[in-house]
Amino acid sequence: MSVDCLIELDYEDERTAEAILAAISPDNAPYAEAERVGTKVIVRSRSKTCPQMLHTTEDLLACIKVAEEAVQATR
């Protein structure tokens, strides 16, 4: 069994999306892959179990939250 997850985050501009992607990229491997498409950051992950996916997703969302707060603080 595997559990797949797709998270799509849409930002107000490409600069913000690029900053978020750059901030979370070091934390992703090997559990998730992220890319920027225009103003969106798209994150795909796959885990063997639901608890593992939950842990991966919680960590990723926490990193995204901090990145978003950092971007907001620079404005």
Q: What are phi and psi of 37, to 5 degrees?
A: -130, 100
| CATH assignment of the domain containing 46 | 3.30.310.50
Q: What is the pTM of this model?
A: 0.84
Short-list 67, 58, 69, CA closest to 26:
67
Contact status, residue 2 vs residue 48, Cβ threshold 8 Å: yes
Taking only Cα atoms into account, the Rg of the chain, rounded to an integer number of angstroms, comes to 12
Please count the structural domains in the chain.
1
Asked if 45 and 60 count as a contact pair (C-beta separation under 8 A), the reply is yes
Range of the domain at 65: 3-73
- The identity of residue 67, as a single letter, is A
Q: Render each residue's pLDDT in the chain as its tens digit; 75 residues.
A: 899 999 999 999 999 999 999 998 866 567 789 999 999 999 999 999 999 999 989 999 999 999 999 999 988
CA dihedral sign of residues 68, 19, 12, 41 = negative
What's residue 27's pLDDT? 60
